[in-house]
Amino acid sequence: MPSLCSICEKEVSRLANQKVICKTCSKIFHADCLNIAPDDLNSIKKDYNCQLCTDQVEENENQHSSSFIDRVNFFNESRWNILNDNMDNDLSISSSKSLNESRKDKWEDKIDKLVTDMSEIKKILSENLELKNKVNVLENKINILETKINKLEQNKLKKYGEITGLPIINETNVKKML
């Protein structure tokens, strides 16, 4: 069964130099269908991910971060409920008003600390997500620059020719030959 390009749905030759395969889902594409220049093809072929797979990876990273935040929120709510229950129990058991006030103050301090810790965690998670996005942008820029460097190197090499199969001759022998 012939392989078909996932964009144009035309046959892609098994021996084609101009085919690109997604390293995640193994879909096959013509380089032309992806608007990849022939000079860029070799550097992109090794690590190519189609747009669908790239979007799924980004979505999974965002879901992971948000699910972590949800778990932290649930954890903090659970701790809050336990603290409230314990505080109510402590307050109802104790008969002395001053002791109750002291315990109440301690519990309120603990609650304030938890709220502060929770907001710090949310801030750190938000910063972490921002940094991940910046890393992705920088990685894309690095790939673009590497591609440009490869193009420049290839263009520079095009100016030179290599002659093979000639015997090594020193200068005196060349003058004699002329």
Q: pLDDT digit of tens for each residue in the chain (178 aa)?
A: 568 888 888 888 776 677 888 888 888 888 888 888 878 888 887 788 888 888 887 777 666 555 656 666 665 566 666 656 655 555 555 455 566 677 777 888 888 888 888 888 888 888 888 888 888 888 888 888 888 887 888 787 777 766 666 666 666 665 665 5
How far is it, in rounded angstroms, from Cα 38 to Cα 15? 16
Residues 112, 135 within the same domain: yes
Residues 7, 71 within the same domain: no
Terminal Cα-to-Cα distance of the chain (whole angstroms): 62
* Boundaries of domain holding 32: 3-37
Which position has the token pair 């992971």?
64
Domain count, the chain: 2
The structure's pTM equals: 0.35
- 3-4/11-12 β-pairing: antiparallel
Residues 18, 88 within the same domain: no
Residues 145, 60 within the same domain: yes
List the beta strands (DSSP E) in 11-128.
11-12, 19-21, 28-30
| CB of 62 closer than 8 Å to CB of 68 | no
Residues 55, 122 within the same domain: yes
